[in-house]
Amino acid sequence: MTTKDKAAARKSSLVVSNKKAFHEYHVLETLKAGIVLTGTEIKSIRAGKVSMNDAHARIKNGEVFLYGLQISLYDKGTVYNHQPDRVRKLLLTKGEIKKLVGKTKESGHTLIPLRMYFERCWVKLDIGLCKGKKLHDKRETIAERDNKREIDRAMKGRGK
């Protein structure tokens, strides 16, 4: 591994990805946000004890809050350990929040966390402005993925 590869790996490393979000929603736009965390939450995230199932964000009083993100208790935590399912504040600029307020008022649009990763020493969260998929859209997505997989297999076998 070269020094450039090591530096790139240090700069950002994926902690968890919300695969369910890509299946359930059309992602219209993504934003990078910081997240307000405590010390024991950071240590649990570094250990990979995070679940994004059923997580979503809401805008309240000009601030964005994340609901439903499960960060397990830190094993070596004391009485100062965090609550696993507390509401966490997301850090976005005022301009980004104003833009999101206008877009989330449209019917069917919601804010869903897509992936959590470390950027240098900071935990970042990609949130997506999403619109829910209908059942036939989900079936189309599955069919496209299966077709692509079959084409890739055929091309791989052909190259021998």
- What's the whole-number mean pLDDT along residues 34-44? 89
Say which CATH superfamily domain 13-133 falls into: Small protein B (2.40.280.10)
> Residue 66: pLDDT above 90?
yes
Decide: 130 and 114 in contact? Cβ < 8 Å.
no
> Residue 131: pLDDT above 60?
yes
Decide: 28 and 50 in contact? Cβ < 8 Å.
no
Instruction: Encode pLDDT of 86-112 as tens digits.
Output: 899 999 999 999 998 888 887 778 899
Instruction: Round to whole Å and give the CA distance between 34 and 115.
Output: 12
Amino acid found at 104: T
Note the pLDDT of residue 9. Answer: 52
Note the pLDDT of residue 5. Answer: 52
Band of residue 132 on the pLDDT scale cut at 50, 70, 90: confident
pTM of the model: 0.76
- What's the whole-number mean pLDDT along residues 52-76? 90
> Residue 141: pLDDT above 90?
no
Instruction: Round to whole Å and give the CA distance between 88 and 82.
Output: 11
Q: Parse the chain into domains and list their residue ranges.
A: 13-133
